[in-house]
Structures are given as C-alpha cells and as structure tokens.
Amino acid sequence: EIVLAQSPATLSLSPGERATLSCRASQSVGSYLAWYQQKPGQAPRLLIYDASNRATGIPARFSGSGSGTDFTLTISSLEPEDFAVYYCQQRSDWPLTFGQGTKVEIK
C-alpha cells in the first residue's frame, strides 16, 4: 500500500500569507496525485489533479507541483475561505489512498 505523509499536520497562518503544504509518497506515484479541500460539515472539493492541474472553477491562487514521491500544494495568498483541511490522494496503484490531512487554521 502506498502511504501518503502530509506535513505539517497544522499550519497556522494569517489571511494574505502564503501556505505551502507537503505530501510525500512512500513510493513513486508519477503524477497521479490529487488535492482536495474540506471544510467542516462539507464534502471534499477537488482542487488539483494530475499533480499540477487546477480543477474547474478553482482560483489561480491554488497551485500544485511535484512528481514521483514529493508534492506541494501552494496557496499564494490566503483568503478567509481557504481555512480548511487539505488532503492529497494517489491514484497510481491499488488501494487508493489519502494522506492524513493538513489543517490550515487562522493564526
């Protein structure tokens, strides 16, 4: 099973600051990685697919990078609505797995 390790577990930042979230895979997943955002009481929302492609309707302040085992989700300037939990997911091999999540909270 491919294990995805997200870091940090919690990121405390202020609106307007830059957020950098990491997702590290236990073995190469190529570019078969997606990022999701989840707010309390809501279903996850797809942000990034294929490691670096923004999903439909996702603002340009969200960007993804990386390949192989190391991936990054960057939010260039945090808006109030961006404070949430973020998950990465690999779709390279069975079973499909998610990282444990990074919570971006208001400092």
Q: Which range binds other proteins by CB under 8 A, 15-23, 40-48, 68-76? A: 40-48
43 in contact with other proteins (CB under 8 A): yes
Amino acid letter for position 33: L
The minimum distance between CB 94 and other proteins, in angstroms, equals 6
87 in contact with other proteins (CB under 8 A): yes
Computed on alpha carbons and rounded to an integer, the radius of gyration of the chain in Å comes to 13
96 in contact with other proteins (CB under 8 A): yes
The minimum distance between CB 16 and other proteins, in angstroms, equals 28
Residue 80 dihedral angles phi and psi, to the nearest 5°:
-55, -35
Selected from 2, 32, 37, 78, the binder of other proteins by CB under 8 A is 32
Judged by the rule CB under 8 A, the positions of this chain that interact with other proteins are 30-32, 34-36, 38, 42-46, 48-50, 53, 55-56, 87, 89, 91-101
